[in-house]
């Protein structure tokens, strides 16, 4: 599909979107970097507030990385809650996040979430509440592990975006289409996958990023970086969340096609890939995710200069 990203970004910024509030649900004992990368990227790109909902032990670590993030230590893992308290704990988690839900413009579910069963039960409920409140959800990392095992969490939800990497995509294809990934028929298979989930938008990450909602397929192949350091997918999730919430505002004010979820994915992917290529110019083989985050501002400026 032909799409002029530059014209779209100029239109988008001229329409002066509200900055937006993003919430990342992720961060556990093992992983604190991933939710930080996602949430701080959302802020650097233009969100005015970025929240992180994580486990109690991850919270002080994430707060320590940045005073800019609002961190809620509300999630619990199985071994910290006795069986008889699980129901009441789940109710408390939901009550806590519900206080904020209506204020969020987008939720990112999964960066560094881990795979603890009780924690994932709580996150399933959070996703159901987000859906009821019509809050868009970007699902990445362990959020995709959860969704692949319970497809109904996103099925038919047009405000859901899945951002699978190569492994996560393989698991989704096996589960939804009952077959293996076929790169000869890559475009058709991506369309079928998105359609099979009832019109959810899928951003398949790789050397080029491919995006589909079951009706059309877009590709983003702006030159990125040959350096594969862990965490680039996390930047992408925060970036897509911000651009998706902005695209929704534009759609409400008259619009631009394609759909807001696709516009969010195209813009988010382009900004990340450009930032990765800028970071690689400076840092070469030692490029880290934090170097790419430092280049998000320059990337935005090069793709859409402030007039
Ligand atoms: N700095 C940070 O904090 C970063 C943290 N990150 C976070 O890491 C998490 C995983 O993301 P990833 O990208 O490594 O997942 P992916 O490529 O599917 O798996 C690779 C292989 O590992 C395995 N495996 C994974 N998790 C497992 C588990 N809990 N228990 C057992 N096996 C597990 C998996 O096995 P499989 O499930 O396929 O059998 C596959 O073979 C996710 O939360 C992400 O956000 C990243 O964003 C990077 C920066
Ligand atoms: N081979 C590649 N060449 C260039 N860019 C790539 C390549 N693979 C992935 N990317 C880009 O990096 C971004 C993150 O994709 P990646 O596959 O690394 O995600 P991930 O494994 O989920 O990352 P993370 O380590 O954060 O979990 C995507 O936007 C994609 O465009
Ligand atoms: Mg990932």
What domains are defined for the chain? 5-303 (3.40.1190.20)
Mean pLDDT in residue range 205-232: 96
Place of tokens 């893992």: 77
- Secondary structure of the chain as H, E, C letters: CCCCHHHHHHHHHHCCCCCCEEEEECCCCCCCHHHHHHHHHHHHHCCCEEEEEEECCCHHHHHHHCCCCEEEEEECCHHHCCHHHHHHHHHHHHHHHHHHHCCCCEEEECCCCCCCHHHHHHHHHHHHHHHHCCCCEEECHHHHHHHHHCHHHCCCCCCEEECCCHHHHHHHHHHHHCCCCCHHHHHHHHHHHHHHCCCCEEEECCCCEEEECCCCEEEECCCCCCCCCCCHHHHHHHHHHHHHHHHHHHHHCCCCCCCHHHHHHHHHHHHHHHHHHHHHHHHHHHCCHHHHHHCHHHHHHHHCCCC
Mean pLDDT in residue range 210-236: 96
Predicted confidence band of residue 251 (pLDDT cuts 50, 70, 90)? confident
Ligand 1 centre to CA of 142 (Å) is 7
Place of tokens 């059309």: 216
Please tell me whether the interface predicted TM-score (ipTM) of this complex is above 0.90.
yes
Q: Is the pLDDT of residue 108 over 60?
A: yes
The residues facing 138 across adjacent strands are 108, 161
CB of 115 sitting under 6 A from ligand 1: yes
- What is the per-residue pLDDT across 14-54, written as a single tens digit (0 to 9) for each? 888 899 999 999 999 999 999 999 999 999 999 999 999 99
Can you give the pLDDT at residue 180? 98
The residues facing 157 across adjacent strands are none
Burial of 122-151, coded b for 16+ CB within 10 Å and e otherwise, reads bbbebbeebbeeebbbbbbbbbbbbbbeee
Contacts of 234 (CB under 8 A, 6+ apart): 33, 34, 35, 37, 38, 41, 111, 112, 140, 141, 289
Can you give the pLDDT at residue 105? 97
- What is the per-residue pLDDT across 274-305, written as a single tens digit (0 to 9) for each? 999 999 999 999 999 999 999 999 999 999 98
For 14, counting Cβ atoms within 10 Å of its Cβ (0-12 exposed, 13-18 middle, 19+ buried), the class is exposed
What is the rounded distance in angstroms from the CA atom of residue 138 to the CA atom of residue 287? 26
Q: What percent of the chain has pLDDT over 90?
A: 91
Measured from the Cα of 32, ligand 1's closest atom is 3
For 182, counting Cβ atoms within 10 Å of its Cβ (0-12 exposed, 13-18 middle, 19+ buried), the class is exposed
Please state the length of the chain: 307
Q: Is the pLDDT of residue 2 over 70?
A: no
Mean pLDDT in residue range 107-112: 98
Q: Is the pLDDT of residue 307 over 90?
A: no
Q: What percent of the chain has pLDDT over 70?
A: 99
Q: Is the pLDDT of residue 1 over 70?
A: no
Measured from the Cα of 234, ligand 1's closest atom is 47
For the chain, the average pLDDT equals: 96
Q: Is the pLDDT of residue 191 over 60?
A: yes
Q: Which ligand is nearest to the CA of 165?
A: 2
Please report how the helices 117-132 and 86-101 are oriented relative to each other, as an axis angle in degrees rounded to 10. 40
Give the residue, by CA position, lying nearest to ligand 1 atom 38: 167
Best residue among 39, 230, 293 to mutate for probing ligand 1's pocket (most ligand atoms within 8 Å of CB) is: 230
Mean pLDDT in residue range 217-235: 95
């Amino acid at each position: 599909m032909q799409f002029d990203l530059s014209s779209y970004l100029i239109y988008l910024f001229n329409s002066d979107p509200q900055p937006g509030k993003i919430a990342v649900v992720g961060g556990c004992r093992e992983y604190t970097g991933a939710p930080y990368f996602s949430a701080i990227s959302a802020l650097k790109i233009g969100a005015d507030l970025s929240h992180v909902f994580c486990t109690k032990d991850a919270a002080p670590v994430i707060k320590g990385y940045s005073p800019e993030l609002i961190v809620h230590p509300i999630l619990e893992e199985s071994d910290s809650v006795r069986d008889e308290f699980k129901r009441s704990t789940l109710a408390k988690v939901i009550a806590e996040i519900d206080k904020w839900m209506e204020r969020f413009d987008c939720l990112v579910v999964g960066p560094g979430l881990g795979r603890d069963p009780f924690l994932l039960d709580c996150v399933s409920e959070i996703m159901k509440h987000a859906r009821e409140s019509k809050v868009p959800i970007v699902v990445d990392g362990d959020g995709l592990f959860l969704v692949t095992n319970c497809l109904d969490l996103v099925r038919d939800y047009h405000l859901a975006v899945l951002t699978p990497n190569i492994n996560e995509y393989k698991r989704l294809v096996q589960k939804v289409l009952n077959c293996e990934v076929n790169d000869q028929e890559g475009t058709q298979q991506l369309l079928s996958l998105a359609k099979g989930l009832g019109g959810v938008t899928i951003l398949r990450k790789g050397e080029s990023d491919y995006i589909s909602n079951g009706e059309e397929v877009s590709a983003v192949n702006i030159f990125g970086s040959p350096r594969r350091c862990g965490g680039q997918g996390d930047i992408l999730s925060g970036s897509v969340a911000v651009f998706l919430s902005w695209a929704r505002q534009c759609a409400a004010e008259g619009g631009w096609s394609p759909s807001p979820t696709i516009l969010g994915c195209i813009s988010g992917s382009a900004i990340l890939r450009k930032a990765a290529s800028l970071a690689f110019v400076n840092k070469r083989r030692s490029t880290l995710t934090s170097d790419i985050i430092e280049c998000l501002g320059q990337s935005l400026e090069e793709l859409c200069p402030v007039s």
